[in-house]
């Protein structure tokens, strides 16, 4: 028997709990990609219900189907072009009127529709009494109560979806626009039907009257010979409506849709008290207080790093230990004669040291993503935008630009994608240009490596209660430097290349919600998995290349012989005690290691470029790792791992990378490495996304200005610092 296959599209306002319903339907069977041609995230998943296989598409969260934002365009085009078998509109039942606005548009579009009244438990506890049966009758659409995060009503929702799937929506109602408008609308609808499209003719007519550019373009493609006639007629009616009603046609339409909803709700919903925001308003009285808001924000940010560090570090240390054990075990397979084995060196010095160096930081990355997911899911992210608006206003942006920047702390790439929500291109470009200064998760391993090597952990007591480590303070300082630079750079861009007035800032504040463990886990895992995947693919490839460059060409027998002789001389000395001999042997080993590296391809390349980085205090090893970081920031760590282990006879006693670095460099150089990594050119993926989002000129500018800025600042710090210390 061949199973039936249906496509369900999930639509809904942002913050309606759409994602929790999607998670409840599909579980872990999810796939995240992009809509073709744009960088709006497309989430798909699948499940079976009865004997039907369901492909579920999670559409972007939108308030309406007007083509103002790219999300709305994507949603609309998906509904028009892909024609899903059924659309489920997820409605926040504690905020019916505003959420049903999208539903009225879906009804006008004539798609097979089911309404999921989500968070119905919250609505009930807040004093809403909804007569779903009556409302369903008034709207002509099936309604199912759901509680997304508890998985309640999901099965019933799918039952209802299967019933309406693929059927023409005959019973659905839609708003009546009243005596002044309906006759004209009907006339235009008939005209569209005759000349252009028999399907969705009423919807097209409404959009023509709303002067919707996307729709005019679409109709122009369907019937190029009639589009002028249609737009002229629409223009005429629009003028008429405006003269009769005193407002632009699209405003009247919006107003009447709300009127239609409000009419239905008055009949079917009783409300004992207005309490949806009671608790949220109380929390907000503190969180968004004009004096407390900013300090609270700063403290929260600090706690994020403190938590990440204090919980994550011991785990990273444990992972590091296991990596050492693994290297020793693999190395042991070759026994005594293993020193010359190319395969042993590839496995141990290349793959385990290189990829391992990146992988051991996975716990930290996970914690950071967990913290960001918490800020997003709880609703605090929008408050941060509010609190920071005044500061952002000073640099010519507004609070909304700050959300992509906060996401950028996790990873710059989704941050750049999140700039899609900004209305003007000017704001978007400015935000994209400074986004890489928001220190991303992939830079964390560099900081942790450096801090662990040069700034041994010390614990302070703050207010006699909280334990704060100096490492967390350093980390916080690095992030703060990034933010400060972003502010200065944004200001400069807004005053020079991207001049213009600040754009209007309107944003909805969702009520605070306690994030669910499942939701947090899914969000955290999605992003962490990308990190792990990157380590297993791109980084693995780069590390193997780097290993080869560090392994060949090998030092000649003649030169190796010199070190052998020296060792023999030291061992032959009878007077010296054992300790002295061991020390001198180690010196010789190190010298041999250096010589081998300098002879290798990477050594030669490094030596060539080293002069450029000398003013920053970097030797050729750091210089090559800095260049390698262009592929992915965390490659820096991997590359240092490779450089410091190739040519060394790795065994269980080989010291961790941190100790090698601590022995070789000063804390000042350590700080310079962090500073340079923070600012310098964004990674390959970021550049690629910037090219796609803003064009290659801006991408080039981004790479250029950041690299120059990094070099100049690091040089200043190193030069001043080395004279002071």
Q: Which of 116, 161, 355, 387 binds another protein (CB under 8 A)?
A: 387
CA dihedral 256, 262, 265, 269 (to 10 degrees): 170
In the complex, minimum distance from the CB of residue 372 to another protein, in angstroms, rounded to a whole number: 20
389 lies in the binding site for another protein (CB under 8 A): yes
Q: Which of 42, 218, 276, 428 binds another protein (CB under 8 A)?
A: 276
Determine which helix (DSSP H) or strand (DSSP E) holds 718, and give its type and residue range: helix 696-724
Residue (32 or 292) nearer to another protein, CB: 292
Q: Which of 236, 239, 390, 533 binds another protein (CB under 8 A)?
A: 390
Q: Which of 509, 540, 544, 668 binds another protein (CB under 8 A)?
A: 509
In the complex, minimum distance from the CB of residue 241 to another protein, in angstroms, rounded to a whole number: 13
In the complex, minimum distance from the CB of residue 398 to another protein, in angstroms, rounded to a whole number: 5
Can you tell me which residue has the tokens 């690091």? 714
Rounded Cα distance, 78 and 80, in Å: 6
Can you tell me which residue has the tokens 């010589």? 595
Residue (275 or 567) nearer to another protein, CB: 275
Can you tell me which residue has the tokens 């990308």? 530
Q: Which of 4, 40, 132, 258 binds another protein (CB under 8 A)?
A: 258
In terms of C-beta density within 10 A (0-12 exposed, 13-18 middle, 19 or more buried), how is residue 245 classed?
Answer: middle
101 lies in the binding site for another protein (CB under 8 A): yes
- Tell me if residue 140 falls in helix, strand or coil: coil
Which segments of 614-695 does DSSP mark as H helices, in order? Answer: 620-628, 635-643, 657-664, 667-679, 684-694
Residue (338 or 396) nearer to another protein, CB: 396
Residue (473 or 509) nearer to another protein, CB: 509
Residue (249 or 703) nearer to another protein, CB: 249
Beta carbons of 90 and 10 less than 8 angstroms apart: yes
285 lies in the binding site for another protein (CB under 8 A): yes
64 lies in the binding site for another protein (CB under 8 A): yes
502 lies in the binding site for another protein (CB under 8 A): yes
Q: Which of 156, 159, 214, 281 binds another protein (CB under 8 A)?
A: 281
180 lies in the binding site for another protein (CB under 8 A): no
Residue (258 or 334) nearer to another protein, CB: 258
Rounded Cα distance, 422 and 435, in Å: 14
Can you tell me which residue has the tokens 């890489």? 436
427 lies in the binding site for another protein (CB under 8 A): no
95 lies in the binding site for another protein (CB under 8 A): yes
Q: Phi/psi of residue 166, each to 5°?
A: 75, -5
Q: Which stretch binds another protein (CB under 8 A): 108-116, 142-150, 425-433, 499-507?
A: 499-507
Q: Which residues contact 552 (CB under 8 A, 6 or more apart)?
A: 600, 601
604 lies in the binding site for another protein (CB under 8 A): no
Q: For the residues of 171-210, what is the DSSP string, one character each?
A: S-------TTTHHHHHHHHHHHHHHT-STTHHHHHHHHHT
Residue ranges in 293-312 that form contacts with another protein under rule CB under 8 A: 293-294
Q: Which of 284, 320, 592, 634 binds another protein (CB under 8 A)?
A: 284
Here the tokens at position 278 are 């009671």
- Tell me if residue 34 falls in helix, strand or coil: strand
Q: Which stretch binds another protein (CB under 8 A): 145-153, 222-230, 428-436, 507-515?
A: 507-515
Rounded Cα distance, 56 and 30, in Å: 9
- Give buried/exposed letters for 357-396 (b at 16+ CB in 10 A, else e): bbbbbbbbbbbbbbbbbbbbbbbbbbbbbbbbbeebeebb
254 lies in the binding site for another protein (CB under 8 A): yes
Residue (115 or 520) nearer to another protein, CB: 115
Rounded Cα distance, 227 and 249, in Å: 20
Q: Which stretch binds another protein (CB under 8 A): 180-188, 282-290, 428-436, 473-481?
A: 282-290
Q: Which stretch binds another protein (CB under 8 A): 360-368, 402-410, 497-505, 569-577?
A: 497-505
Reference 546, options 462, 465, 603; nearest CA is 603
Q: Which residues pair with 5 in a beta bridge?
A: 53
Q: Which stretch binds another protein (CB under 8 A): 251-259, 345-353, 558-566, 683-691?
A: 251-259
Rounded Cα distance, 123 and 103, in Å: 18
In the complex, minimum distance from the CB of residue 290 to another protein, in angstroms, rounded to a whole number: 5
Q: Phi/psi of residue 395, each to 5°?
A: -100, 15
Determine which helix (DSSP H) or strand (DSSP E) holds 369, and give its type and residue range: helix 362-378
Question: Within a 13 Å sphere around the CA of 350, how many CA atoms are in the beta-carbon half?
Answer: 22
Beta carbons of 438 and 416 less than 8 angstroms apart: no
Q: Which of 70, 326, 481, 507 binds another protein (CB under 8 A)?
A: 507
Question: How many residues touch another protein (CB under 8 A)?
Answer: 51
127 lies in the binding site for another protein (CB under 8 A): no
Question: Within a 13 Å sphere around the CA of 46, how many CA atoms are in the beta-carbon half?
Answer: 9
Residue ranges in 399-418 that form contacts with another protein under rule CB under 8 A: 399-400
598 lies in the binding site for another protein (CB under 8 A): no
283 lies in the binding site for another protein (CB under 8 A): no
- Cα dist from 709 to 485, 673, 702, whole Å: 10, 14, 11
210 lies in the binding site for another protein (CB under 8 A): yes
In the complex, minimum distance from the CB of residue 258 to another protein, in angstroms, rounded to a whole number: 6
Rounded Cα distance, 118 and 479, in Å: 38
Rounded Cα distance, 420 and 499, in Å: 20
506 lies in the binding site for another protein (CB under 8 A): yes
In the complex, minimum distance from the CB of residue 94 to another protein, in angstroms, rounded to a whole number: 8
Residue (55 or 250) nearer to another protein, CB: 250
Beta carbons of 717 and 667 less than 8 angstroms apart: no
Q: Which of 77, 155, 211, 470 binds another protein (CB under 8 A)?
A: 211
Q: Which of 504, 556, 578, 697 binds another protein (CB under 8 A)?
A: 504
Residue (502 or 691) nearer to another protein, CB: 502
Residue ranges in 72-91 that form contacts with another protein under rule CB under 8 A: none
Q: Which of 180, 247, 586, 652 binds another protein (CB under 8 A)?
A: 247
Residue (13 or 686) nearer to another protein, CB: 13
Rounded Cα distance, 313 and 374, in Å: 20
Beta carbons of 148 and 118 less than 8 angstroms apart: yes
250 lies in the binding site for another protein (CB under 8 A): yes
Q: Which residues in this chain contact another protein in the complex, by CB under 8 A?
A: 63-64, 66, 68, 95, 97-98, 101, 210-211, 245-248, 250-251, 254-255, 258, 274, 276-277, 280-281, 284-285, 288-290, 293-294, 382, 385-387, 389-390, 393, 398-400, 501-509, 511
């Amino acid at each position: 028997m061949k199973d039936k296959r249906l496509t369900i599209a999930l639509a809904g306002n942002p913050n309606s709990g759409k994602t929790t319903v999607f998670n409840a339907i599909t579980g872990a069977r999810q796939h995240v990609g992009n809509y073709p041609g744009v960088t709006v995230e497309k989430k798909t998943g699948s499940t079976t219900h009865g004997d039907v296989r369901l492909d579920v598409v999670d559409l972007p969260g939108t308030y309406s189907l007007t083509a103002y934002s790219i999300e709305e365009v994507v949603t609309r085009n998906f509904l028009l072009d892909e024609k899903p078998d059924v659309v489920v509109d997820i409605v926040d039942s504690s905020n019916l009127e505003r959420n049903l606005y999208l539903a009225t548009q879906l009804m006008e579009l004539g798609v097979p529709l089911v309404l999921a009244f989500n968070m119905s438990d919250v609505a009930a506890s807040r004093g809403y009494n909804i007569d779903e049966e009556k409302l369903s009758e008034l709207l002509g659409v099936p309604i199912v109560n759901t509680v997304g995060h508890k998985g309640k009503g999901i099965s019933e929702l799918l039952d209802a979806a299967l019933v309406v799937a693929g059927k023409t929506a005959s019973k659905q109602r839609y708003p009546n626009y009243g005596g002044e408008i309906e006759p004209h609308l009907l006339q235009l609808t008939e005209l569209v039907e005759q000349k252009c499209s028999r399907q969705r003719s009423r919807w097209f007519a409404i959009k023509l009257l709303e002067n919707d550019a996307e729709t005019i373009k679409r109709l122009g493609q369907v019937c190029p010979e009639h589009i002028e006639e249609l737009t002229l007629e629409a223009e005429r009616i629009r003028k008429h409506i405006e003269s009769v009603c005193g407002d632009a046609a699209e405003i009247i339409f919006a107003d009447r849709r709300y009127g239609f909803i409000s009419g239905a709700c008055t009949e079917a919903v009783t409300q004992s008290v207005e309490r949806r925001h009671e608790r949220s308003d109380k929390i907000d009285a503190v969180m968004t207080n004009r004096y407390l808001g900013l300090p609270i924000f700063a403290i929260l940010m600090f706690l994020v790093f403190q938590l990440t560090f204090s919980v994550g570090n011991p785990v990273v240390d444990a992972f590091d230990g296991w990596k050492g054990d693994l290297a020793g075990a693999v190395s042991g397979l070759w026994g005594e004669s293993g020193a010359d084995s190319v395969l042993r060196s590839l496995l141990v010095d290349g793959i385990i040291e290189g990829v391992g160096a990146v992988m051991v930081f996975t716990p930290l990355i996970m914690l950071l993503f967990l913290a960001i997911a918490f800020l997003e899911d709880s609703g605090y992210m929008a408050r941060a935008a509010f609190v920071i608006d005044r500061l952002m206003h000073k640099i010519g942006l507004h609070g909304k630009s700050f959300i992509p920047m906060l996401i950028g702390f996790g990873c710059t790439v989704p941050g750049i994608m999140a700039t899609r929500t900004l209305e003007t291109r000017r704001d978007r470009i400015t935000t994209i240009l400074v986004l890489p200064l928001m220190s991303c998760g992939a830079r964390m391993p560099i900081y942790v490596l450096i801090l662990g090597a040069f700034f041994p952990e010390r614990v302070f007591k703050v207010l006699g209660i909280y334990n704060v480590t100096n490492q967390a303070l350093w980390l916080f300082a690095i992030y703060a430097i990034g933010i400060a630079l972003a502010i200065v750079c944004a200001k400069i861009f807004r005053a020079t290349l991207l001049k213009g007035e600040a754009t209007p800032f309107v944003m909805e504040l969702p009520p605070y919600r306690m994030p669910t463990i499942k939701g947090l886990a899914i969000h955290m895992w999605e992003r962490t998995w990308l990190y792990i995947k990157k380590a297993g693919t791109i980084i693995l490839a780069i590390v193997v290349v780097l290993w080869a460059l560090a392994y060949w060409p090998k030092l000649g027998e003649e030169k190796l012989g010199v070190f052998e002789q020296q060792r023999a001389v030291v061992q032959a000395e009878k007077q010296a005690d054992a300790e002295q001999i061991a020390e001198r042997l180690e010196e010789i080993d190190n010298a041999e290691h250096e010589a081998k590296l300098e002879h290798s391809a990477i050594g030669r390349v490094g030596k060539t470029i080293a002069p450029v980085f000398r003013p920053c205090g970097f030797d050729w090893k750091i210089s090559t790792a800095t260049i390698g970081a262009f592929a992915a920031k965390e490659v820096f760590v991997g590359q240092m791992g490779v450089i410091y282990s190739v040519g060394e006879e790795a065994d269980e006693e080989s010291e961790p990378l941190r100790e090698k670095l601590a022995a070789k460099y000063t804390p000042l150089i350590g700080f310079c490495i962090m500073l340079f990594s923070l600012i310098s050119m964004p990674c390959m993926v970021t550049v690629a996304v910037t090219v796609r989002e803003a064009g290659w000129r801006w991408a080039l500018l981004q790479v250029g200005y950041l690299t120059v800025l990094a070099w100049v600042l690091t040089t200043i710090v190193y030069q001043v610092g080395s004279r002071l210390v």
